[in-house]
């Protein structure tokens, strides 16, 4: 791929930001976004303000390029051509299906790049495609809307179920719900159509319902889900001990689950008796699965322990990306912001895959900080887009997947990993008991420091 002199300078000084810019151009050009909007929208339509414009403004807030939607609008007011009110009206009306479609589309386009880079790592379960699903409730928003301005309660703008691919380390899909108080189980009917054979779906106990388990099986999929106490099952055999894993003793039992029509469905129940209690004080983890007996209970117990990867993804969204914009009080706008954070997470997944291809999986996973990656993007990206006019980015739209993968590897070689090194904190010490001092209410910092020096000099 041919790059001009300005591109080359950014490639040397800010390769991460350049890689992100190239992936954004590949996936989310204005033409692609507006076409996706036209295909997906049911109620919204375009007059003067394009969907791609709203996407661009909000993505700047999500990625930390601008502190707020107002600031993003103010910086581009001459090009936008409509009022701030019109922008917010469009944003507050973005349908959840459109937001979800953007996430799905980004994974479709970016996933083959991870595959081409051969950076997905060894399969968690050879021969099977894994999915981890988990729910998240968006953080309560500021009380800016008239209806809850006088309420002391937190206003929850929505809930989502994220489908995570641990191989690609991407969000493959998301189900959005505007009701922040909705039960996760009310959304299962929207998750089941996403199941394909021979996928293996992993989830916590909230997803352990008869209809969800059997719905996965009916679509040719497999489940490995932590057992909920309300799941009704019947034993076919007594539990038998099968061995130990790193965290405890494993037992297995053949069971049957009865569907609504009275049909019997065979499954396996795996018990992990822990050596140490969980943070919730539990000493036993029970799993249910319909995977064939050729896959041992020991392997499945170890596999389920890796489900925390999706929790790590949520943590990165919260810490490194502005996934929950508390100034967006309307549910549609808040959910759209969360979905744009998932798109940004997918783009960073491609960048990390390129780094793994060059520097090794263990080094990147253990030493590279997502915070510093996001920080470079926030500090460099806007200036880079100004220095490099739009026509310079078109090469990324038309390049083949192998060409892009080769370019990403070249960029990854020029990355100085020391700049992005993690600095893990030591375990926190218990806070010291503070001395109560009613009078005076304040103290002089300079005097306290001077006292410290005097104390050190005193023999």
Which sign does the torsion angle of CA 68, 157, 131, 252 carry? positive
What DSSP character marks residue 382? H
The pTM for the full model equals 0.88
Both tokens of 227, joined, read: 């057992």
pLDDT in tens, 112-156: 999 899 876 678 898 899 999 999 888 888 888 777 777 778 888
pLDDT score at 3? 60
pLDDT in tens, 422-443: 877 666 677 777 666 666 677 7
pLDDT score at 351? 92
Please, which pLDDT band fits residue 456 given cuts at 50, 70 and 90?
low
pLDDT in tens, 248-263: 999 999 999 998 888 8
pLDDT in tens, 39-50: 998 888 777 788
Cα–chain center distance at 49: 29
d(CA 425, CA 118): 32
pLDDT score at 245? 93
Dmax of the chain from CA atoms?
Answer: 85
Q: Answer for the pair 160, 335: CB distance below 8 angstroms, yes or no.
A: yes
Closest CA to 306 of 200, 402, 381, 392: 200
d(CA 224, CA 202): 5
Burial of 34 (0-12, 13-18, 19+ CB in 10 A): middle
pLDDT in tens, 187-230: 999 999 999 989 999 999 999 999 999 999 999 999 999 999 99
d(CA 328, CA 153): 16
Please, which pLDDT band fits residue 231 given cuts at 50, 70 and 90?
very high
Lowest mean pLDDT among 86-100, 203-217, 225-239, 369-383: 369-383
What mean pLDDT do residues 279-308 have?
92
* Of residues 63 and 3, more confidently modeled: 63
List, in order of start, the domains of the chain with CATH numbers: 5-93+326-420 (no CATH), 98-107+118-320 (3.90.350.10)
What mean pLDDT do residues 336-356 have?
91
Q: Answer for the pair 167, 132: CB distance below 8 angstroms, yes or no.
A: no
d(CA 408, CA 403): 9
pLDDT in tens, 149-183: 777 788 888 999 999 999 888 999 999 999 988 88
pLDDT score at 296? 95
What mean pLDDT do residues 19-38 have?
88
3-state secondary structure of 406: helix
Cα–chain center distance at 363: 21
Say whether pLDDT at 459 is over 60. Answer: no
Say whether pLDDT at 2 is over 60. Answer: no
Which whole-number Å values give the CA distances from 292 to 224, 245, 255, 367, in the listed order? 11, 20, 13, 37
d(CA 238, CA 400): 56
d(CA 313, CA 105): 19
What mean pLDDT do residues 279-305 have?
93
Closest CA to 400 of 408, 411, 410: 408
What DSSP character marks residue 214? H
d(CA 316, CA 371): 8
SS3 content of the chain, % helix, strand, coil (to 5): 50, 15, 35
d(CA 438, CA 442): 9
Q: How high does pLDDT run on average in the chain?
A: 87
pLDDT score at 1? 56
Lowest mean pLDDT among 182-191, 219-228, 327-336, 367-376: 367-376
Q: Answer for the pair 324, 295: CB distance below 8 angstroms, yes or no.
A: no
% of the chain surpassing 90 pLDDT: 46
pLDDT score at 384? 78
Q: Phi and psi of 156, rounded to 5°?
A: -90, 120
Q: For residue 244, list its beta bridge partners.
A: 249
pLDDT score at 48? 76
What is the DSSP annotation of 69-112? HHHHHHHTHHHH-S-HHHHHHHHHT--HHHHHHHHHHHHHHHHH
pLDDT score at 387? 77
What is the DSSP annotation of 414-459? T--GGGGB--PPPPPPPPPPPPP--SSS---HHHHHHHHHHHHH--
């Amino acid at each position: 791929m041919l790059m001009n002199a300005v591109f080359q300078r950014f490639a040397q000084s800010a390769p991460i930001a350049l890689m992100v810019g190239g992936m954004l151009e590949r996936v989310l050009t204005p033409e692609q976004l507006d076409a996706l909007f036209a295909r997906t929208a049911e109620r919204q339509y375009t007059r003067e303000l394009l969907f791609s414009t709203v996407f661009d403004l909000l993505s700047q807030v999500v990625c930390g390029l601008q502190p707020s939607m107002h600031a993003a609008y103010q910086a581009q007011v001459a090009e936008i051509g409509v009022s701030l009110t019109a922008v917010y009206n469009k944003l507050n009306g973005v349908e959840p299906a459109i937001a979800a479609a953007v996430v799905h589309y980004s994974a479709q386009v970016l996933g083959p790049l991870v595959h081409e880079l051969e950076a997905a790592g060894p399969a968690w379960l050879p021969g099977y495609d894994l999915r981890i699903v988990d729910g998240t409730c968006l953080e309560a928003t500021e009380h800016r809307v008239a209806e809850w301005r006088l309420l002391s309660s937190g206003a929850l703008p929505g809930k989502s179920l994220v489908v995570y691919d641990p191989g690609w380390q991407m969000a493959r899909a998301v189900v959005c719900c505007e009701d922040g108080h909705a039960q996760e189980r009310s959304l299962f009917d929207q998750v089941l159509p996403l199941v394909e054979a021979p996928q293996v779906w992993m989830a916590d106990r909230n997803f352990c319902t008869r209809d969800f388990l059997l719905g996965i099986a009916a679509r040719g999929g497999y489940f490995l889900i932590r057992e909920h106490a309300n799941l009704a099952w019947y034993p076919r055999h007594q539990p038998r001990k099968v061995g130990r894993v790193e965290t405890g003793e494993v037992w297995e039992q053949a069971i049957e689950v009865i569907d609504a029509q009275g049909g019997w469905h065979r499954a396996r129940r795996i018990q992990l008796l822990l050596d140490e209690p969980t943070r919730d004080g539990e000493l036993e983890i029970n799993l249910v699965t319909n995977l064939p007996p050729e896959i041992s209970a020991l392997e499945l117990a170890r596999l389920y322990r890796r489900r925390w990867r999706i929790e790590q993804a949520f943590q990165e969204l919260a810490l490194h990306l502005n996934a929950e914009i508390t100034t967006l009080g309307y549910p549609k706008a808040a959910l759209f912001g969360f979905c744009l954070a998932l798109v940004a997470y997918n783009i960073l997944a491609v960048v990390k895959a390129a780094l793994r291809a060059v520097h090794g999986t263990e080094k990147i996973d253990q030493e590279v900080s997502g915070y510093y990656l996001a920080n470079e993007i926030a500090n460099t990206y806007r200036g880079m887009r100004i220095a490099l006019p739009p026509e310079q980015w078109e090469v990324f739209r038309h390049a083949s997947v192998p060409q892009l993968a080769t370019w990403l590897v070249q960029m990854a070689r020029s990355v100085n990993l020391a700049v992005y090194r993690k600095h893990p904190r030591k375990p926190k010490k218990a806070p010291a008991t503070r001395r109560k001092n009613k009078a005076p209410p304040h103290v002089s910092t300079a005097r306290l420091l001077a006292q410290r020096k005097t104390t050190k000099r005193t023999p």
